[in-house]
Homo-oligomer: A and B are copies of this chain.
Amino acid sequence: MHSTVGVIGGGQLARMMIAPAVELGVTIKVLEEAPGMSAELAATGVGDYRDLDTVVEFAQTVDVVTFDHEHVPQHILRALVDAGVPVHPGPDALLYAQDKLLMRRKITELGLPSPDWAAIENAEELGAFLDAHGGRGVVKTARGGYDGKGVRVVDDKNGADDWFTALAEDGRGGSLIVEELVDFVRELAQQVARRPSGEIAVYPVVETVQKGGVCAEVIAPAPTAGDAVRDAAGPASATTVSDAAREIAVRVAEGIGVTGMLAVELFETRDGRVLVNELAMRPHNSGHWTQDGAVTSQFEQHLRAVLDLPLGSTRPRDPWTVMINVLGGPAGATLQSRYADAMAAHPAAKLHGYGKDSRPGRKVGHVTVSGESLEDVLTDARGAAAFFE
């Protein structure tokens, strides 16, 4: 087996790979963007992931390259592959996490359900789509968006003119995407892991609650996910929400050739459909519950997958686990300053801090609680998280 995993990017996702790497006895090295980032403890290099020489130099010190984020440019990924470096996920898969337009085309090509969507190049094309969809839509940039950035609800054909102008000015041209405003009852996320040799492990589908475009709370498994579903994955055999989510994620993982963790963000619509919203090819916020709530955490699973080791059990440890994100407050406030009170009041809560400076709205940690009763688990998790507001 490969024994040294190299992670490009020093954020909290890289940080949270450290614990399972240490426990498995796998060496982990991180290329961080700047000194003192979240994954500092495992950092062996500092540099710009957009610089070929920096990345190649780092890659020469490890056995397999993986990622804290999806932003490493394609030409660098391909240079690594050409040099014989195992890269997981590989560039052919990561492309669909980097470009939402390519992703939408691929999901449609795979016969999987998306919201209605169109590639648009000007205000007239946007206007035509809005006219056909009740006058409103969601416009997205194909590249560069995350946590609600690069996403905008519009009700006017000129509502994305600034983005069209920016696209024209950057010389590369290209399209925006417009999607129907989905009438969803809730958002779900389905995670799977896939090894290079093809083995796939499926986690329970979870419910994600967003606030301000950012994931706030995750309930695992998603309540009532055994309910019947309509028209989930085209003409598929899926008859429940959880079956539909599983089938979609497995077909995406195999159709795109993902290696490592894949998260498929989903809409469950008022009329009983399950639609693909976004893809992420790395450990994902919707899977932080697995650290404390599943036999194999998404971070351990990602390491096993990129090392092409057999995947671990995804069994939940308790009937319910709830994960709540902790967002940064005023500068100077630290997560740790509230530990004593939070721990005293909530001895069963698991507190996770990312070692990041606090800034308003920035994800700086999370809390999980597991147990038998969803109501009790929610109360306990929200109570603990409230100490960090």
Contact = CB atoms under 8 A, between A and B. Distances in A.
Interface of A: 1, 3, 15-16, 18-20, 22-27, 41-42, 291, 295-296, 304, 309-313, 315, 317-318, 335-337, 339-340, 343-344, 347-348, 350-355, 365, 370
A175 to B, nearest CB: 42
A339 B22 contact: no
B315 A348 contact: yes
B15 A309 contact: no
14 contacts: A1-B337, A1-B340, A18-B41, A19-B20, A19-B23, A23-B350, A24-B351, A25-B335, A25-B354, A26-B336, A26-B353, A296-B347, A309-B340, A310-B344
A25 B295 contact: no
A355 B26 CA distance: 8
A310 B340 contact: yes
Given A295-B348, A317-B317, A343 B312 contact: yes
Contact of A15 (B1, B22, B296, B353): B22
B1 A339 contact: yes
Given A339-B1, A347-B313, A24 B295 contact: no
A25 B365 contact: yes
Contacts of A310: 340, 343-344, 347
Nearest to A353: B25
Which 8 pairs from chain A and chain B are nearest by CB? A25-B353, A19-B19, A310-B343, A310-B344, A313-B348, A313-B347, A317-B317, A25-B355
- Interface residues of A, dominant DSSP: mixed
A199 B337 CA distance: 20
Of residues A291, A343, A370, which shows the largest number of chain B Cβ atoms within 10 Å of its Cβ?
A343
B335 A23 contact: no
A290 to B, nearest CB: 13
Nearest to A311: B347
A362 B296 CA distance: 27
A310 B336 CA distance: 12
A95 B348 CA distance: 33
A41 B22 contact: yes
Contacts of A365: 25
A291 B352 contact: no
A352 B317 contact: no
A25 B334 CA distance: 10
A370 B313 CA distance: 12
A296 B348 CA distance: 8
A3 B336 CA distance: 8
Of residues A3, A24, A41, which shows the largest number of chain B Cβ atoms within 10 Å of its Cβ?
A24
Contacts of A335: 25
A39 to B, nearest CB: 9
Given A23-B352, A25-B336, A312-B347, 6 more contacts: A3-B336, A18-B22, A23-B350, A24-B351, A24-B352, A25-B354
A23 B291 contact: yes
A42 to B, nearest CB: 7
A352 B20 CA distance: 9
A304 to B, nearest CB: 7
Contacts of A1: 336-337, 339-340
Contact of A309 (B295, B339, B350): B339
A341 to B, nearest CB: 8
Nearest to A365: B25
Contacts of A370: 295, 317
